[in-house]
C-alpha cells in the first residue's frame, strides 16, 4: 500500500541513512531529488542542494506549500541538522512542517506490506521498535525501546520487519520476513503529504528529532553540570 500523496511545492529532507536525499516537487507535483553523500552531511552541503532543486523546480521560497522532514531515530547530529534546516525554512517561508518518523518513510518506500515492524537505534540488547499500520491513507507509527524477547509472541500480527543489513541478525529473531529499510525523499514526501492532508503538521518551534535515548553528548553535559 502507498499513500501516494505528493503535494505540489513540497520540500523533502530525508537524511536518515548515511546517503541521504533532498527533494522538491514542482507546481505540477513532479519531483526532483538530489543525493547527499555521508561525507557531505553538513548543513553547508544540504542548503546548496535545496537551492539547486528549488531553481530546477522554478519555485521561490515563498511558494512552498509544505516541508517534510524525517525525524529519526538516526544519528544525533544528522537529525539535528535536518530539523534545524526545516525549522529555518519554515520560519522564512511560513510553510508548515510534517515531521515524519523515519520508519514511516521507510514503510512508504516499501509500499505494499502492512502492518510492519521496524528496528532502529540498537544499543546493547535494546533497540527502538516501531509498529506501523496503514490506516485512512496514513502510516500510523508508534515506537518504544524493546528487546527481541519482548517482541516474540506478537510477531504473527505483522507481515514483515524493516531493517538495514547491519541489523538483520537481530531482526531474524522475530521469525517474520525481513524487508529493506530504505527511506527516500519521495517516500518521505508521500508520507508527509498524508500527514498534511490529515492536518498533522508541526509548528517550526516544536519540530524536534526523535531520540530513543538521551544523546551521549547531552548526557555528558548534564553530568558535568551536576558536578559543579
> Looking at residue 1, what is its pLDDT?
42
> Is residue 186 predicted with pLDDT exceeding 60?
yes
**Cβ(96)–Cβ(67) under 8 Å?**
yes
> Is residue 151 predicted with pLDDT exceeding 90?
no
What average pLDDT does this structure show over 188-215? 93
Let me know whether 218 and 206 are in one domain. Answer: yes
Let me know whether 15 and 98 are in one domain. Answer: yes
Let me know whether 160 and 205 are in one domain. Answer: no
- Is the pLDDT higher at 68 or at 157? 68
Cell numbers 516544536 correspond to: 206
- Under the banding of pLDDT at 50, 70 and 90, the label for residue 173 is confident
Number of domains in the chain: 2
Does residue 197 lie within any of the structural domains? yes
Does residue 3 lie within any of the structural domains? no
Does residue 5 lie within any of the structural domains? no
Task: Report the CATH number that the domain containing residue 35 is assigned in CATH.
Answer: 3.30.420.40
Does residue 108 lie within any of the structural domains? no
Let me know whether 136 and 154 are in one domain. Answer: yes
Let me know whether 19 and 95 are in one domain. Answer: yes
pTM over 0.85: yes
Let me know whether 22 and 91 are in one domain. Answer: yes
Does residue 122 lie within any of the structural domains? yes
Let me know whether 142 and 80 are in one domain. Answer: no
Residues 6+ positions from 98 with CB-CB distance below 8 Å: 66, 67, 68, 69, 191, 192, 193, 195, 196, 200, 201, 202
Listed residues 165, 180, 195: the one ending a domain: 180
- Is the pLDDT higher at 40 or at 119? 119
What average pLDDT does this structure show over 110-133? 91
Let me know whether 21 and 75 are in one domain. Answer: yes
What does the mean pLDDT of the chain come to? 89
- Report pLDDT digits (tens) over 15-64: 999 999 999 999 999 999 999 975 454 557 899 999 999 999 999 999 99
Let me know whether 41 and 61 are in one domain. Answer: yes
Q: Which domain holds residue 173?
A: 113-180
Does residue 2 lie within any of the structural domains? no
Let me know whether 31 and 93 are in one domain. Answer: yes
136-139 own/partner pairs: CB under 8 Å, 24+ apart: 136/198, 137/3, 137/5, 137/194, 137/197, 137/198, 138/3, 138/194, 138/195, 138/198, 138/200, 139/3, 139/104, 139/107, 139/108, 139/191, 139/194
Let me know whether 65 and 129 are in one domain. Answer: no
With H, G, I as helix, E, B as strand and everything else as coil, classify residue 121.
strand
Let me know whether 51 and 162 are in one domain. Answer: no
Amino acid at each position: 500500500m502507498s499513500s501516494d500523496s505528493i503535494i505540489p511545492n513540497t520540500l523533502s529532507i530525508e537524511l536518515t541513512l548515511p546517503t541521504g536525499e533532498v527533494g522538491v516537487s514542482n507546481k505540477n507535483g513532479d519531483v526532483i531529488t538530489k543525493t547527499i553523500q555521508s561525507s557531505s552531511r553538513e548543513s553547508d552541503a544540504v542548503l546548496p542542494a535545496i537551492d539547486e532543486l528549488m531553481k530546477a523546480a522554478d519555485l521561490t521560497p515563498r511558494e512552498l506549500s509544505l516541508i517534510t522532514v524525517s525525524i529519526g531515530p538516526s544519528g544525533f547530529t544528522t537529525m539535528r541538522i535536518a530539523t534545524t534546516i526545516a525549522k529555518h525554512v519554515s520560519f522564512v517561508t511560513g510553510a508548515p512542517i510534517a515531521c515524519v518518523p523515519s520508519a514511516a518513510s521507510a514503510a512508504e518506500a516499501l509500499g505494499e506490506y502492512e502492518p510492519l515492524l521496524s528496528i532502529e537505534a540498537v544499543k546493547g540488547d535494546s533497540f527502538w521498535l516501531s509498529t506501523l499500520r496503514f490506516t485512512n491513507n496514513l502510516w500510523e507509527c508508534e515506537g518504544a525501546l524493546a528487546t527481541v524477547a519482548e517482541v516474540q509472541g506478537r510477531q504473527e500480527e505483522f507481515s514483515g520487519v524493516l531493517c538495514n543489513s547491519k541489523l538483520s541478525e537481530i531482526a531474524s529473531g522475530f521469525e517474520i520476513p525481513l524487508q529493506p529499510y530504505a527511506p527516500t525523499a519521495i517516500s518521505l514526501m508521500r508520507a508527509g503529504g498524508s500527514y498534511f492532508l490529515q492536518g498533522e503538521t508541526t509548528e517550526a518551534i516544536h519540530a524536534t528529532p526523535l531520540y530513543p535515548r538521551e544523546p551521549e553528548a547531552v548526557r555528558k553535559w548534564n553530568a558535568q553540570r551536576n558536578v559543579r
